[in-house]
Amino acid sequence: MGSLTKYVSNDHPELSVLIEDDGKVCYAYLLRGKRIVGDIWLYNIAPTPNEAEWHSKENLPFLNPEEFVKENLEPFDAWSPVEVTWDFSEEIVANIFLASRLIAKLKEGSCPGWSSLVTKDGPLAQKI
């Protein structure tokens, strides 16, 4: 079962973060209006594969393979303490927190964004 949660910026309502859990994998998307301008892998729901599956578009959305995953979170639910904060100082940055812990950062053009849940940079997330 999938879920969507949207966090809209109070200061710039055209900007939002959409967290999508499709029952296989969870990603966050930075939106400007309805257009995706950044994305980041958050966690695998299906078992973490040993090898990358991004060799075939049929596997979309991609699971992050074992060699990149430092920590795989438990799936979010309605009670998960997720918060998105916004930084508009130099660039627009959306920071995603789980229980006050920074787990991901997105900025416009970041495809992928940055994560504290990976061991190294890859096509689904860059290491914070």
pLDDT value at residue 118: 98
Q: Are 12 and 91 in contact (CB under 8 A)?
A: no
Q: Which residues of the chain have pLDDT under 50?
A: 1
- In degrees, rounded to 5, the angle at the alpha carbon of residue 44 between the alpha carbons of residues 41 and 49 is 110
Structural domain harbouring 81 = 3-127
User: Model pTM?
Assistant: 0.95
CA-to-CA distance for 19 and 30, rounded, in angstroms? Answer: 9
The reported pLDDT for the residue numbered 8 is 96
Three-state secondary-structure class, residue 55: coil
User: Residue 36 has what pLDDT?
Assistant: 97
The structure tokens listed for 117 are 């849940």
pLDDT confidence of residue 73: 95
Residues in the chain: 128
Number of domains in the chain: 1
Structural element, H or E, at residue 90: none
